[in-house]
Structure 1
Amino acid sequence: MEKRDPKHDDILQRLDIREVLIEAGYQQNRRFGLRLPSYVRLDGEGKRIRGDKFVVTQDGKRCFRPPRKREYNAVSFIREHPQFFPEYCEGMDTDDLVELVSGRLLPPPAGELRELTVEPPDREVRPFDIMDYEVHRFDPKKRATQKKFYPYFTYRGIDLRTQAAFHRNFCLATRKRDDGVRYTRLSFPMVLPKEEGKIVGFEERERARADGSSSYEGNAQGSDMDEGVWIASPAGTPLAEAKHVYWFESACDAMAYYQLHRERNRELDKAVFVSTGYFPTTKQMRGVLERTVPARQHICFDRSTAWHDSAWRLQQEICRTVREAIVETPERKPYLDSIPDGQDLTEGEFYLLPKGGLQESCIRFDSEWEEAMSMRSSGLCAPEDVQDQINTMNRCYREYREKLREFLGIDREHDVDFTREEPDYRHKSWNGQLLAEQRREESVGQQQEREESAEEERQTRLGR
């Protein structure tokens, strides 16, 4: 008879067996049918493991493994399959495991919210120390090392090729808490830009759900979130030698961006990818920029308003970094002082520029810009005429910028060079876009399969 604990009644009411199966590393087998959904496990190559399947009952409360012998609800499944959950350690009471897993998957009951929001007692947080962790690494040449990463990457849509490209820059890190519970998380080492070999924290993710989300996204205790950043390059390009730097709010988004663009942009392997782990701090931005001013900075934060603000702050830091490298002279100072803080070098007062070439070049560019904008907005000009004017405007800008650099004493390599890249307007993040594109491809493939099957059936009937 199944062990019963009154404390688990609430868990049974609130915890979906399908959610438990997904957390245990299973995924829905869409071909099995819709009336009784089934969940299967895949091997390291993404192939279905035969005989490892659970079918959800019609009421959606329980599951069973065919041939039908025993049904499990959310609680009994956790109890009898403890090895599937990161909270489990050998010898642990399975009732404690149920409470830990459900506590992670479920929001707290309304009555507990007040208690949970009370400020924790002041205590000193030890600085991050990688020696506190057992680390498991991904080896592109050894399949056995790769299998453990499957539940962390598969539902995020990140394939083995992308994992292999970034294998130096992620790991599975296991830590034992003071209460004896062991937990493992997908971890991305954070380093100081000036000391790339010194790990000062982890950007962490738990295993992904079927929709690509994670029940935990954060950073390891004691991580240096003020200066530490995740820095990665598929080709191993050092930060100081980067020609292109790509900025993201998370390492998973950086890997998703790479996977989305790797076929169209072969230079991505040589690029350097940076994750700030959350909203970027001034020290994070400065630390990277001071070593990569000659590189083109690609600002790839997501589409939310908060991240638009972060992109603007990063642009300002790029401009400040270039501005501070310019040597002030009596001739340059009046113009430099007129540039608003964090603005581009062209934003100063034009009349403070020297005459005899530079000031006139600035006026010419402004005139051509106004003409191009007027032609484009009027709707009265032929597209080819508008494009001709835009080409003229761009040529005038390049001439003006070159003269401005000469006046300010900076070369082309050390000038401001950045671009803003965002996910497709339908998606908030790069990882969200990757998953959506994979779902679209899967849907197209399934439709083709249905059409081919229908055609085969039609040909069979005609043959008869």
Structure 2
Amino acid sequence: MNDKELTHDDFVQRIDIRDVLLDAGYRQNRRFGLRLSSFIRTDSEGKRIRGDKFVITQQGKCCSQPPRQKEYNVVSFIKEHPTLFAEYHEGIDPNRLVNLVCSRLLNIPVEDKQDLRPFDIADYDLHPFDPQDRETQKTFYPYFKNRGIDLSTQNAFHRHFCLATKHGADGGAYTCLAFPLTLPKEGGTVVGFEERDCVRMDGSGSYQDKAKEGNANEGLWIASPAGTPLAEAEHIYWFESAYDAMAYYQLHQAQNQELRKAVFVSTGGSPTVAQMQGVFSAALPARQHICFDTDLAGIEYAKNLQQEMYRAVCSTIEATSERKPYLDSVPDGENLDCGEVELLPRDLLSKYGKYESAWIEARSMHSSGLCHTDDIQVQEDIVNRLYKEFREGLREFLGLDKRNDTSFVRERPAYPHKNWNGLLLAEQKREESIGQNQEREENAEQERQTHFRR
């Protein structure tokens, strides 16, 4: 492989995170007695900026920012802190920024962005999945077999994936399973691909990525088995990959027949603010199902999505002179009920007081260990009823349309599985094991019966 074909995995292996931190303006903290190497930033007077410190982990491959436990590698650090690098400018594709920064650190020349052609779907030979044609379905078998995605699920999502073949300037070609990325408000125009299980042009292996020319900053994979438009969705399910979305559907569709009408969204990796804002601007009233991975990164993505959702809700409120003091007291990215309640009208403050008292009583009943579960449930029902009354009053005071008072639910695959595709494969393996055990028991019983007759 030559340098021009380096992937993000190559950057992680070849670049020390310390070099990235130095490039971002940090310097090594040489304070005596430190057990782990750390990097800090200083202000214009050379004084250390409190709270802005990164500790090196995994022998220079990653870093973390205490007290948070999330680890960044070379790629994720650049994506999460883009403004620290010279190549950053407003609207730059995060993947493009990673390539520019890492290539510079490795002294690899990068072609000027002006020379890159914009994404053009005409550059690809597309091979759609036809539910009525068994021959075309066979070509998709290698891509879905190892993921456990069955034919029924492929049929449900057949409009939302294809095989895409792109030809290189040297005459080579690569084929991948492509999930089209579209912009939430632009009616299906494809702006890129979430590429999975790509075969390299030289045939040396496979990888997953996004089409380099695509708009990965704003584009998402948006799919609905029933063809529900995003703007009409009542339920939106968020995932980090299209594979996970299809796995979730396969796991739950039998128990939830309405799942066909839902809209499934894949961010193709790290969710961006532009992706979140795009969906919320098109479908804020929908109930948001956050189905990101359960690792530290997924937890952070879920938190970011919730915060962006709260910002979107707040942006729909007209800040009148009566409302502004309370709205200003709501922390950025927090729920509307997190403001200073003393700034609310007296009748609304009274409703909050009743809710808070009931909540304290419920917590006390839980912690005492002296109350029957039925009594605790009765108290919790009271808490829920009083909060609902307070929330309705808060919406009325703020002039917030009930449809835009968006709700969400965090859905996680069963422990210890990190993502939904992992859970699907584990479930299939478990069912296969049960079937094998039953077969062995039946064979043993038949053998016993045979010996008995003899």
Same fold (TM over 0.5): yes
Aligned counterparts of 2:451 and 2:119: Cα–Cα separation in 1: 69
Say whether the 8 Å CA contact 2:192–2:210 is kept in structure 1: yes
State the Cα distance separating 1:215 from its structure 2 match.
4.3
* 1:317 and 2:308 correspond: yes
2:368 is aligned to 378
* 1:156 alignment partner, one of 147, 168, 175: 147
2:285 is aligned to 294
State the Cα distance separating 1:391 from its structure 2 match.
0.7
The residue correspondences of 1:25-424 to structure 2 (distance < 5 A) are 118-123=106-111, 124=113, 125-206=116-197, 215-355=206-346, 357-424=347-414
Q: In 2 relative to 1, CA 453–126 (structure 1 residues): closer, same or farther, beyond 3 Å? A: same
Name the aligned partner's letter for residue 110 of structure 2. D
Alignment size in residue pairs: 345
Say whether the 8 Å CA contact 2:251–2:424 is kept in structure 1: yes
Alignment deviations for residues 137-187 of structure 1 (CA, whole Å, 9 cap, x no partner)? 111111111110000001100000100000000000011122222211000
Q: Structure 2: which 5+ runs fail to align?
A: 1-101, 200-204
Alignment deviations for residues 271-319 of structure 1 (CA, whole Å, 9 cap, x no partner)? 0000111111111100001111110011110001111111111101100
State the Cα distance separating 1:263 from its structure 2 match.
1.0
1:459 is aligned to 449
State the Cα distance separating 1:411 from its structure 2 match.
2.6
* 1:443 and 2:433 correspond: yes
Say whether the 8 Å CA contact 2:286–2:406 is kept in structure 1: no
Aligned counterparts of 1:346 and 1:119: Cα–Cα separation in 2: 51
Name the aligned partner's letter for residue 108 of structure 2. P
1:94 is aligned to none
Alignment deviations for residues 352-390 of structure 1 (CA, whole Å, 9 cap, x no partner)? 0001x2110011111111111121122221111111111
State the Cα distance separating 1:434 from its structure 2 match.
0.3
Any idea what SS the aligned residue of 1:370 has? helix
RMSD: 1.8
Aligned counterparts of 2:206 and 2:135: Cα–Cα separation in 1: 26
Name the aligned partner's letter for residue 445 of structure 1. G
1:430 is aligned to 420
Q: List structure 1 runs of 4+ shifted beyond 3 angstroms.
A: 114-117
Rg comparison, structure with higher value: 1
Aligned counterparts of 2:443 and 2:429: Cα–Cα separation in 1: 21
Q: In 2 relative to 1, CA 115–350 (structure 1 residues): closer, same or farther, beyond 3 Å? A: closer
State the Cα distance separating 1:127 from its structure 2 match.
1.7
State the Cα distance separating 1:463 from its structure 2 match.
2.0
Aligned counterparts of 2:449 and 2:118: Cα–Cα separation in 1: 70
Q: In 2 relative to 1, CA 460–436 (structure 1 residues): closer, same or farther, beyond 3 Å? A: same
Alignment deviations for residues 43-80 of structure 1 (CA, whole Å, 9 cap, x no partner)? xxxxxxxxxxxxxxxxxxxxxxxxxxxxxxxxxxxxxx
Aligned counterparts of 2:272 and 2:197: Cα–Cα separation in 1: 24
User: Normalising by the residue count of structure 2, what TM-score does the alignment of the two structures yield?
Assistant: 0.74
Say whether the 8 Å CA contact 2:240–2:267 is kept in structure 1: yes
Any idea what SS the aligned residue of 2:379 has? helix
More moved, 437-446 vs 199-208? 199-208
Name the aligned partner's letter for residue 267 of structure 1. E
Over the matched positions of the two proteins, sequence identity in percent amounts to 59
1:50 is aligned to none
Aligned counterparts of 1:377 and 1:119: Cα–Cα separation in 2: 61
Aligned counterparts of 1:116 and 1:281: Cα–Cα separation in 2: 24
Say whether the 8 Å CA contact 1:169–1:188 is kept in structure 2: yes
State the Cα distance separating 1:119 from its structure 2 match.
4.6
Say whether the 8 Å CA contact 1:151–1:207 is kept in structure 2: no
Name the aligned partner's letter for residue 313 of structure 1. N
Q: In 2 relative to 1, CA 116–423 (structure 1 residues): closer, same or farther, beyond 3 Å? A: farther
Say whether the 8 Å CA contact 2:178–2:195 is kept in structure 1: yes
State the Cα distance separating 1:428 from its structure 2 match.
0.4
More moved, 199-208 vs 265-274? 199-208
Any idea what SS the aligned residue of 2:187 has? strand
Aligned counterparts of 2:362 and 2:399: Cα–Cα separation in 1: 30
Say whether the 8 Å CA contact 1:249–1:279 is kept in structure 2: yes
Any idea what SS the aligned residue of 1:185 has? strand
1:4 is aligned to none
State the Cα distance separating 1:427 from its structure 2 match.
0.2
Q: Structure 1: which 5+ runs fail to align?
A: 1-113, 209-213
State the Cα distance separating 1:118 from its structure 2 match.
2.7
1:6 is aligned to none
Alignment deviations for residues 384-429 of structure 1 (CA, whole Å, 9 cap, x no partner)? 1111111110011111111111111123211021111111121001
Q: In 2 relative to 1, CA 234–302 (structure 1 residues): closer, same or farther, beyond 3 Å? A: same
Name the aligned partner's letter for residue 346 of structure 1. D
